[in-house]
Structures are given as C-alpha cells and as structure tokens.
Structure 1
Amino acid sequence: MNERMEKLYALLENEELDVAFITLPKMIYYFTGFYSDPHERFMALVCVKGKDPFLFVPILDHEKAARVSQVSCIYSHKDEQNPYEVLKPLLGSGIARMGIQEEYLNVKRYHALMQITDARQAVDLEPHLNPMRVVKSAEEIVTIKRAIHCIEEVIRTTLPLIKPGVTELDIVAEMEFRMKRLGAEGPSFDTMVLAGEKSGLPHGIPGNNPIREGELLLIDAGVFVDGYASDITRTFAVGDIGKQCKEIYEAVLQANLSMIEAVRPGVTFGSLDQAARQAISSRGYGDYFITRAGHGFGLEIHEYPSIHGGNEDLLGAGMVFTAEPGIYMPGVGGVRIEDNVIVTANGVEVLTTFPKELTVIG
C-alpha cells in the first residue's frame, strides 16, 4: 500500500468510517496511478475498513486498470448490469458510516450508495482530502514545471503568427495544434483568446471576430502533461493601445508583483488577495477587479485553495497556485497577468518565466 493510500486508510480510522468511495477520476489517479474518464458509467476507488482497497470500473477499463494501477484488486461491471447490484456484495455488511466526495457525487448515485450499504450517515471527505493534495511532492513539481514549459513554448511560437485580421479562433487552433506537437495530452481548459472589448470578459468565449490594430489581446491557456496542469495568462498590445489601456496594464502588473511578493509560509491566502487588490484600488481601478486573485492547481486546473479575501487558511511550503489579478472594464477591455508560483521554505518561487512587460505584437 503506497503512502497516499495509507493516509486514506488513516482517515477512515480517524473519522470512524466503514467505507470510503473516491469517485473523482483525478483523485482515483492520485491514489492509484490509474486514470480514465468513465463518462456516464460509475467508477470508484473503494476502501473498506479492515480490507484491501479495490477499484470498481466499467469493464472496458478493466485491462488498463489492471496494467497500471497500484491497487491490485480490480472489479468491473458491464453496461447491461446495474453497477450498484454488482458492487453491493463486494462491500460486506455492518456499514454505518460511509465517506463520499460530495462535490463529485450526484444525487442519484448518492442514494444508490446509501441503499446498497445501508449506511446511516454519509461524511464528506473533501475537507480531509484537500490537505493531502495541496502540498505537492518533488515529483509533482517536476511534472508541473514541464507543463508550464510546454504552454510557454506554445505561446512563444504562436505570437509571430498573430496580426490584425487573424481571428481569435485562428489563434486557438494554432495553439492547440502546438500543444499536442509539444507533447501535451491537451489543453487543461478551453483555450481563451479574447481581443478588444472581449478581453474585459473574465470567462469570454473566443469567436470569429478578427484582431484589430489598437486592441488588447488576452491569452489564457494551459496544458496537461502526464496528468498535471499549467495555467498562464498574458495580455498583449496589438499596435498602440492608448494611454488608458497602458495604465490598466501597469496597475495589473504591479498587483501581480505585489501579490507574489507577499507569498511566504504562515500568511493567509486572504492576505495575498488583499495585496493584489490594494495595488489596483490605489490606482483607481478597484471596482473593475471582480475576480478572486488566484487558485490552486495540479491534477485539476482548479484545486484548493481559492485565493480570495476571506480565506484565512495559511500558506505552507510546497503549495502551488496561480497569481492572477485583473482589471475588466466594460466597453474598453481587460488585462490579466497570471503566473504559477510555489511556496518555498523562505518565500516563493515563480515557476512561469514568460515575460510580463507589455509586449506589442502584430
């Protein structure tokens, strides 16, 4: 049993759980080394108190799970079977408390698991699992750095192709082609390329509108490499963007630098958000900083922690997250500068290396 699995069984003991169901595919990968997207089919890592863990997978994943999983016991179900009826006799009896991932278990599956276990109580595992994942191992950091290097190379090689007349979706297509060519499994989220006023939409959707001279161009992208994500944003000037947009850019850059400078073990995540927000508010743009300042990432593009002003949890060495303050002005546009950082024993290491000074393209 690997170290991570030992911690999971210690959690069962500490919380007096009779069984735990890990159902998020990325979390199953974290504990076992096996990853698959089961789509609508039920899949779980099952840990029964006093017994060895087992994987319960759709039959089409059985061979792969047996080949790569660190859990040796694999059970499977066919499409024509009710998976819960197959699972029930594998659990044994006497289950009073079961652990689940509330955020990743829909109501139908929750009721099915309660029925086959006869459990009297379900306990959310997420508050206990988050601390396990938030501190990255040396091996995880190496992989994350590879993912960061990949997306930075994608952006670097795509920039020379960007000029007025090229569309947002043209750029997205070029970037996602390069991701695969450079060894990524694919984008870690929908690649975001937003020009002009659309750059002021924090979650805008790229379209067929052409890039124009005098606009801001925001590129937010990341990749998965060996299961781990990267996430970087840079905002560029297409020609001369004018005084106001330059002021906005400088305000966001200072917020980014102030936030990173505040990173060290023992401070709160909320203080990082406050450092970024103060830098932007002091320049008169506080009302346009409408997002949180960052988020954790790793096996998923969004993991604990959420970096907002109310988060009083403390930073610790080995935590990895984004620093991404932004200004989003309707009718004008937006600027976001996003770095990936890791908390060190004495402060912070910035993992992203792509230049942050305002770059004019086209």
Structure 2
Amino acid sequence: MNHYETRQRRLIESLKDNGVNGALLLSPANIFYYTGFLSNPHERFMGLAIIPETRHAILFVPALDHEAASGAAAVDQIIPIQDDQLPMQAVKEVIQGLHGPIGIEPKALNYERYVGLTSTFPDACVMDIEELIGKQRLSKSADEVRAIREAIRIIELVMDEGIRKVKPGMTEAELTAELEYLMRMHGADGPSFSTIVLSGEKAALPHGSPGARKITAGDFLLIDMGVVKDGYCSDITRTFVIGEPTEEQQRIYNIVRRSNEAGIEASRAGVPLCGIDSASRKVIEDEGYGKFFNNRVGHGVGIEVHEAPSVHAKNEIPAEPGNVFTIEPGIYIPGYAGVRIEDIVHLTEDGHAEVLTSFPKDLRIIGH
C-alpha cells in the first residue's frame, strides 16, 4: 500500500468515526494529498469521491486531463468528464446512492457546485470535514519534509544569485522578473505566490506589489518569495540594505532578527501556537515597535504556501511533531521602511524545532 492509499484509509476511518457516508473533495491541494495527482482544473470540475462503505476512491477529472491522471493518481477508478456534461450527473452515473451526511470542504465548494450536489442527490446533506483533513495534513511525513527542503534549496539559490543582480536604478519590477526567471532556471515548477520585491518606504507594505519604483542608495530592500517543486512549496523573506545602513536601520533590523530567533526558540511540541507568537512579538513590543507589527507571526507551509497551522495570538492549539510553519516577524513603519525576516521550521519527532531555511540573516549590504 503506497502512502496515498494509507492517507485515504485514514480519512475513511475518520469519516466512519464521525458518521459521514462519503466525501466529495474539490480542493486540488487535497486531491493531490490523497491521490498524488496535481492539477489545476481552472473552471472545469475535478473531484475526489471517497466512499467509506466500499472503501473506494474515485477521481473525476476533465476529459483533457484523463491521460495525465491515469499516470499519476492512486485511486480505484478515474472518470473523465466531457465539457458538455453536467459534472454532478457524471458523478451520479457512477455513485447513485449518495445520501445522508456527505463531507465537503467549505472553502472549495462554491454555491454553483453546492446547488448541483444537493439537487442531484436530494437525500444528501453536506457536512464540513475540513478539520478532519486538516489534522492529517498538519503532520508532515519524512517524504513531505524532503520535498519542502528541495523547494527551499531552490529558492535559496535564487535569493543568492538574485541579490547579486541588484543595482541602484533597477526597478522593483525588473528585479522581480530576474528572480522569477532564476526560479525556472533552477528547476522550480513556478513561484508559490506572487513574488514580493519592495524598496524604501514601500517595504512598509507587508504584502505590497512590485512596481516602477527604483531601488536607490539608502533603501531597505525586502524580498519575499517561494517556489513550488513537485507539489510542495517554499517561502522565505530576507531584507537587505542598499549601501551602508544608518544606525536606525541597523537597530530596527536587529530587533526583527532577535524577534525571529525568539520565535524559533519558542517553537517546540506542546507549546500553544499563541505562545510562539507571543515570544516573537514580545521582543518587538519591548523595544517600542509593537504598533508597527500587526500580523501573525507565522503560517503552515506544505502543498499550499499558506496552510495550517496558523501561528497567531489567539490560537491555543498546541504545536505538534510534524508541523511545518514559518516564523516571520516584521516592523513596518508607514512612509519610512519595513523589515521582515522569515524562516521555515519543522518540529521533529522529538518535538524540537529544526530550521529548514539556511540563508544568512546578517544584515547584508547589496547593490554596490
């Protein structure tokens, strides 16, 4: 039995334990997790039906993806759906007796699909199983950690080569293009999110967009990026300075670095996730910059670049072995600048934090 089948069996047992008669998963990330088939169907229908009674996993895919799915998906049956077919009717032709509680992912089931499901199967009602799936995906296997490591290896090569190309007068957009070119050149399947390159006062926008602003001497330069490789993501942020830093720039940077290290130090199994957030946040608050740090300290990374667990001030769920998440504190001063330092940590079997990212964190002068 391969690990996809093992994951399916675990889900089946969870469905049985919770009185759920079946599941229809629509999230491409969850479908990949349970089958090994990675695809974005765009507007077309793709779904994984899990039937506890028969212990069958049936994958419905757009007809144009049938061959690709046949070579990758670990399922009992693959059903192609033509563009002129009604998706739920195609499901009904294969699974006629869907009734009672049917597990769905609320974030993936849009209203159109919901109407199609409930009208085609009037004896069925939907049940949220996001938490059941999330519990499985929270604990990363050794294979998953290896895949994340590879995505990190690629993005750190990109960071190392990319910052060597920075010159005063270059625009944020131009540097972004260079970085995304390097991602492909180093074997990435693509960026895991829209690359963030922000300079000077724009670095105070935690999720700002690169534009025509020119990188100039005296700027902080914030680069936040990641790649997808074989279905798994990386995510790293480093902040650099163009030319010699001022005392204030050095001070702000050092505070963020200490905050990052405090969050990593607090990361261990059994510690509530809010405790990790507070350990990191306290460093910034104690230095008087608390009002300039108004986002969570971290988020999970895996098949999706933002997934569970969420490391924020009100999440009292304890961290567990197998968790993989970011520690990314920042100080963002409107009209002046911003600094963020982001690493990925993995909680090992003994519950300690293993830092998967390795790019240096000393304040580095570039662009000269």
**TM tier, shorter chain?**
over 0.9
Show the counterpart of 1:75: 79
> Secondary structure of the equivalent of 1:103?
coil
Instruction: After superposition, give the CA deviation of every residue in 1:71-94 in whole Å (9 maximum; x if it has no partner).
Output: 131112111111112211222225
Show the counterpart of 1:351: 356
* Alignment map for 1:159-198 (pairs within 5 Å): 159-198=163-202
Show the counterpart of 1:114: 118
Q: Does 1:217 align with 2:221?
A: yes
**Conserved in 2, the CA contact under 8 Å of 1:98 and 1:119?**
no
Among candidates 84, 90, 99, match of residue 86 of structure 1: 90
> Secondary structure of the equivalent of 1:53?
strand
What is the CA–CA distance in structure 2 between the aligned matches of 1:346 and 1:99, rounded to whole Å? 32
Show the counterpart of 1:227: 231
Q: Does 1:250 align with 2:241?
A: no
**Conserved in 1, the CA contact under 8 Å of 2:347 and 2:354?**
yes
What is the CA–CA distance in structure 2 between the aligned matches of 1:7 and 1:258, rounded to whole Å? 36
Show the counterpart of 2:22: 19
Instruction: After superposition, give the CA deviation of every residue in 1:16-42 in whole Å (9 maximum; x if it has no partner).
Output: 112201110111011001111110011
Show the counterpart of 1:361: 366
What is the CA–CA distance in structure 2 between the aligned matches of 1:83 and 1:248, rounded to whole Å? 54
Q: Which amino acid aligns with 1:35?
A: L
Show the counterpart of 2:60: 56
> Secondary structure of the equivalent of 1:99?
strand
Show the counterpart of 2:147: 143
Instruction: After superposition, give the CA deviation of every residue in 1:136-162 in whole Å (9 maximum; x if it has no partner).
Output: 111111111111010000010111110
Instruction: After superposition, give the CA deviation of every residue in 1:38-69 in whole Å (9 maximum; x if it has no partner).
Output: 10011100012322111011111111111111
Q: Does 1:123 align with 2:130?
A: no
Change (3 A) 1:183 1:94: closer
Give, in angstroms, the shift of residue 268 of structure 1: 0.5
> Secondary structure of the equivalent of 2:214?
coil
* Alignment map for 1:303-314 (pairs within 5 Å): 303-314=307-318
What is the CA–CA distance in structure 1 between the aligned matches of 2:98 and 2:9, rounded to whole Å? 22
What 5-or-longer segments of structure 1 have no aligned partner? none
Instruction: After superposition, give the CA deviation of every residue in 1:208-232 in whole Å (9 maximum; x if it has no partner).
Output: 1110000100000000111100000
> Secondary structure of the equivalent of 1:54?
strand
What RMSD over aligned residues (CA atoms) do the two structures have, in Å? Answer: 1.1
Show the counterpart of 2:107: 103
**Conserved in 2, the CA contact under 8 Å of 1:96 and 1:118?**
no
Identity of aligned residues (%): 44
Among candidates 31, 34, 37, match of residue 37 of structure 2: 34
Instruction: After superposition, give the CA deviation of every residue in 1:184-203 in whole Å (9 maximum; x if it has no partner).
Output: 10100001100001000011
What is the CA–CA distance in structure 1 between the aligned matches of 2:77 and 2:140, rounded to whole Å? 27
**Conserved in 2, the CA contact under 8 Å of 1:229 and 1:301?**
yes
What 5-or-longer segments of structure 2 have no aligned partner? none
Q: Which amino acid aligns with 1:83?
A: P
> Secondary structure of the equivalent of 1:104?
coil
What is the CA–CA distance in structure 2 between the aligned matches of 1:84 and 1:120, rounded to whole Å? 13
> Secondary structure of the equivalent of 1:322?
strand
Give, in angstroms, the shift of residue 121 of structure 1: 2.6
Change (3 A) 1:94 1:147: closer
Give, in angstroms, the shift of residue 120 of structure 1: 4.5
What is the CA–CA distance in structure 2 between the aligned matches of 1:361 and 1:48, rounded to whole Å? 56
Instruction: After superposition, give the CA deviation of every residue in 1:90-142 in whole Å (9 maximum; x if it has no partner).
Output: 22225111100001111111121111122453111111111100111111111
Normalised by the length of structure 1, the TM-score is: 0.98
Among candidates 12, 35, 40, match of residue 9 of structure 1: 12
> Secondary structure of the equivalent of 1:30?
helix
What is the CA–CA distance in structure 1 between the aligned matches of 2:123 and 2:279, rounded to whole Å? 46
**Conserved in 1, the CA contact under 8 Å of 2:11 and 2:132?**
no
> Secondary structure of the equivalent of 1:143?
helix
**Conserved in 2, the CA contact under 8 Å of 1:97 and 1:119?**
no
Show the counterpart of 2:286: 282
